[in-house]
Amino acid sequence: MDVLLTVLAEHARRRPMVWALRGAEGALRYGELAAAVAALTDVLGRRAARVVGLLLDNSPAWVAIDLAAHAAGVALVPLPGFFTAAQLMHAIRDGGIGLILTDQPARIQALAGSELECASAAPVEVAGQRLVAFRIGHACAPATQAATAKITYTSGTTGEPKGVRLAQTTMERVAIALLERVGGGAVQRHLSVLPLATLLENIAGVYVPLLAGGCCHLPPLAAVGVRGAAEFDAVRMIAALRAAAASSAILVPQMLQSLVAAGARLPDARILAVGGAPVARTVIERARSIGLPVFEGYGLSECASVVSVNAPDADRPGSVGRPLPHVRLRFAPDGEILVAGAGFQGYTGSDDAPTVDGYWPTGDLGHIDADGFLHLSGRKRNVFITAFGRNVAPEWVERELTAQPAIAQAAVFGESRPWNLAVVVPRDGRPRAEIAAAVHAANCELPDYARVRGWIVAAAPFSVTNGQLTATGRVRRDAVFSAHRAELDGRYSSYEQEIHA
């Protein structure tokens, strides 16, 4: 039996009446959770599927199925609700899923046809929620390693997502290290505001509180103000955090920025972790000035979610914290971060993880300071070189732009150009005069070669739906550039004409 299930069994023996999971349609005490997991383990065993897919909104049922899959020795594939039909089809076939449990049967039925054989099985009731099970037929399902406990798909891709294969021991190593870093008292009432299909929420938002004997509050995403993968209602989210008296939550940067803009007061919060994309130090400082205990971290699915994180007793704003104890870091000559210590098994369809001497090349650039805190500077593949030969990491400039209250999102461009341009999304319909002032303020924090000379307002907010944003908040610059190419090229042309006039 693995560590997580052993600890849960101990909680059930010693504290059976303590709440473990709370949701809109049901709640489970630790004793009830242990019984539900045991019953589901038997069900999954009888279904005889090596790989089980889970397309389900946040709920206690989601967690019970996750734990039961571990106990039954089957691989679980969380299917993000924001995936398109094509992405769902790819994940089902690529992951070799033989059984799907869902509260959205129409979406699976819509996939049935010549490309996917699926048959509806008897309904399954889990934690007071009625789900539908679908058996999936595959002409040639890919083999899954016996040690693979979970296949998590890179979220928000516009093409075919990559399936990251993870062992249970790897995920538990991260969860245990996180618990040691933040302390059990901080996670006694955790509210999930990210989809449970997001690996970070799955591990840090569920496994960590359960290891600590806390309670996970798991309302449907709509109840916490989340719509799709990148839209949310800050007022509803603040109300949900207060109603749950949440001591912890995990946020993406846009959520944090909106909470700060709304002046959120959350007296019960002990730790609000933020990650998925870079956060400007000034945003962290503004959050703390209104009493929000915000701590930035860093991780990747290939490293089982978290590599480093700040915490109350080890904190440096502007960094992403000290690496977790099991993590080993190296840096390539160009500054790329290389990670070892909690690696993945490989992508679906491959035998091993593509490492260099056992270290995973993250594609992120950064450095460690004298006190052991990790600092990020941008994505290796995103760095562009200006016409003056200066290297610019666009994330750096974008952090300064979005630190301004008037700018919600930004994408910066300047490859082979004498100056940089930005595509910006105003916050709450702010007028152009406020945007201009915000750009000026951001430029004051930047050296001349990194400053933004001009800007245009985006045709629409960057989102997963239009392919311009990942679910964790990273900007997809190629997509943003393609959508605004004519206007950007025109702006550069007009500047060149001014110079030569």
Tell me whether residue 348 is in a domain. no
What is the model's pTM? 0.85
Same structural domain for residues 390 and 371? Answer: no
Mean pLDDT of 351-379: 89
Contacts of 404 (CB under 8 A, 6+ apart): 438, 439, 441, 442
Range with the poorest average pLDDT among 17-26, 145-154, 321-330, 480-489: 145-154
Range of the domain at 477: 383-500
Same structural domain for residues 373 and 462? Answer: no
Tell me whether residue 358 is in a domain. no
Q: Tens digit of pLDDT for each residue in 285-344?
A: 999 999 999 999 999 999 999 999 999 999 999 999 999 999 999 999 999 999 999 889
Total Cβ atoms within 10 A of residue 355: 16
CATH number of the structural domain spanning residue 392: 3.30.300.30
**Considering Cα of 445, then 450, then 455, then 460, what sign does the dihedral take?**
negative
Total Cβ atoms within 10 A of residue 120: 13
CATH number of the structural domain spanning residue 64: 3.40.50.12780
Better-scored residue on pLDDT, 83 or 262: 262
pLDDT at 238: 97
Same structural domain for residues 118 and 238? Answer: no
Tell me whether residue 42 is in a domain. yes
Same structural domain for residues 316 and 213? Answer: yes
Mean pLDDT of 176-196: 97
Same structural domain for residues 237 and 101? Answer: no
Tell me whether residue 108 is in a domain. yes
Q: Report the chain's terminal Cα–Cα distance, integer Å.
A: 76
How many domains does the chain fold into?
Answer: 3
Same structural domain for residues 134 and 191? Answer: no
Tell me whether residue 316 is in a domain. yes
Same structural domain for residues 395 and 492? Answer: yes
Mean pLDDT of 179-183: 97
Q: Tens digit of pLDDT for each residue in 124-165?
A: 889 889 999 998 886 444 555 668 999 999 754 345 788 999
Same structural domain for residues 50 and 96? Answer: yes
Mean pLDDT of 111-130: 79
Same structural domain for residues 461 and 492? Answer: yes
Tell me whether residue 313 is in a domain. yes
Choose one of 378, 401, 420: the last residue of a domain. Answer: 378
Cβ atoms of 252 and 276 closer than 8 Å: yes
The label of the residue with tokens 């959770």 reads: 33
- Rounded Cα distance, 151 and 308, in Å: 22
Same structural domain for residues 75 and 196? Answer: no
Tell me whether residue 329 is in a domain. no
Choose one of 121, 143, 161: the last residue of a domain. Answer: 161
Same structural domain for residues 451 and 470? Answer: yes
Pairing type for strands 374-379 and 231-232 reads: unpaired
Residue 232 region by backbone torsions, left for phi larger than 0, else alpha for psi between -120 and 50, else beta = beta
Choose one of 161, 187, 221: the last residue of a domain. Answer: 161
* Secondary structure, 3-state, 129-187: EEEEEEEEECCCCCCCCCCEEEEEECCCCCCCCCEEEEEHHHHHHHHHHHHHHHCHHHH
Same structural domain for residues 193 and 286? Answer: yes
Cβ atoms of 221 and 58 closer than 8 Å: yes
Total Cβ atoms within 10 A of residue 216: 29
Tell me whether residue 85 is in a domain. yes
